[in-house]
Amino acid sequence: MPTDNDNETGREQENAKGGLLRGIGLLVLPLLALQRNMLGIARAGINEAGLLKPVQTLAQSELHAWLMILDRDGRLRNSLGTDIEKELKDTLDAAVPKVISGAVMLIDAQQEVLTSIIEVLDKARTSNASQD
């Protein structure tokens, strides 16, 4: 048979859970907002910096360096055909814009998720504050 004491204990546990959620929200909200803002800065940097050509040049140079290190005499490269480096360059020219676009899309998705989490935690924080 439930008693008034049981009801008081249940309310105390709910208040403790609400207080814990509010405390976590107060702690985590600034960190999540900082991360969301930093993602916005990173996205703007990617879009405005014009990284396409520098990234393509870097990737091509790195690939060429690896080919020279792994195949010092050029036997493997020569056995694959004379146009192998041109084919690799063309492949990188096609792949790099997709990688940059994918990075921007990933940043956008992370920002949307963080915005939703921030809204939920803020609602929980304000509802718990009004109940206190």
Work out the percent of the chain whose per-residue pLDDT is above 90: 9
> By residue range, what is the domain housing residue 49?
4-131
Residue 5 has pLDDT above 60, yes or no: no
The per-residue pLDDT for range 85-107, each reduced to its tens digit, is 788 788 888 887 888 888 889 99
Spatial distance between the Cα atoms of 106 and 16, rounded to a whole number of angstroms: 37
The pLDDT value recorded for residue 130 is 65
Which is more confidently placed, 110 or 87? 110
The per-residue pLDDT for range 38-47, each reduced to its tens digit, is 888 888 877 7
